[in-house]
Amino acid sequence: MTSKKLPVGLLGALLVLGALVGTTPALAQGACIDFEAPAFVLGTQYGAPAGHVPNQWVFNYAGIDARVHKFDWGGGTTFRVAHIDNAPPTLGPTQSLRFNNINMSFDFSSWGTLPKTIKISYVDLGGIENLSINGSAYYVGDIAGAPAVLGGVNVMVTAAAIPGGKTGTIVLRGSVKYFTIGGQEFWIDDLCATP
């Protein structure tokens, strides 16, 4: 079987069409951040140890801008570190993003068409988590107890017990311009957004 390349004119037309509708053809189908190499190098740090300051841009992947933010532990705030880590077994044999007293926001405003569904796999091995959606609501507590609606977006969290904590998924349904998430002993993986 042979593969065919798109004629340059057709490829250009698709890119122009993508620009006219406010998104590229790849983003029209959505995108996932899987925190895998080569885009994400094992051990890469975000936050204070990397010299970042709160609200600083740290990466863009698939048109999604990520920034680091202070973490609210319910009695004040702190700004520690997130890093690319070996995933806990329940997230698979690959890499994930681990939080240690820090938050990270994921901004979809450059997509043109905002995602309507975002699904994230997580592992929670203790402490509390933060969740904010569209900047208008903020939750501090156990992610499994997040309210059903934040920032005008429906929130559904599943949780299953594992040794030392829990694992599950977080699903956000509604127009999400950006959201912020973080924790103390908290990992996320396979952050997938679809229009």
User: pTM, whole model, 2 decimals?
Assistant: 0.85
pLDDT at 27: 59
pLDDT at 43: 98
Question: 114 pLDDT exceeds 60?
Answer: yes
SS3 87: coil
SS3 128: coil
- We report the CATH number of the domain holding residue 142 as 2.60.120
pLDDT at 119: 98
Instruction: Report yes or no on 136 lying in a domain.
Output: yes
- Domain count for the chain: 1
Give the chain's mean pLDDT.
88
SS3 96: strand
Q: Could you tell me which residue, 188 or 1, shows the higher pLDDT? A: 188
Instruction: Report yes or no on 127 lying in a domain.
Output: yes
User: What integer is the mean pLDDT of 162-168?
Assistant: 96
DSSP code at position 13: H
Instruction: Report yes or no on 30 lying in a domain.
Output: yes
Instruction: Report yes or no on 14 lying in a domain.
Output: no
At position 28, the amino acid (one-letter code) is A
Instruction: Report yes or no on 17 lying in a domain.
Output: no
Instruction: Report yes or no on 80 lying in a domain.
Output: yes
User: What integer is the mean pLDDT of 5-22?
Assistant: 37
Q: How far apart are CA 192 and CA 112, in angstroms?
A: 17
Instruction: Report yes or no on 8 lying in a domain.
Output: no
Question: 6 pLDDT exceeds 70?
Answer: no
Where on the phi/psi map is residue 81: left (φ > 0), alpha (ψ -120 to 50), or beta?
beta
Q: pLDDT digits over 43-96, tens only?
A: 999 999 999 999 999 999 999 999 999 999 999 999 999 999 999 988 988 999
pLDDT tier at 28 (50, 70, 90 boundaries)? low
Q: How far apart are CA 143 and CA 120, in angstroms?
A: 12
Q: Which domain holds residue 171?
A: 23-194
pLDDT tier at 103 (50, 70, 90 boundaries)? very high
Instruction: Report yes or no on 96 lying in a domain.
Output: yes
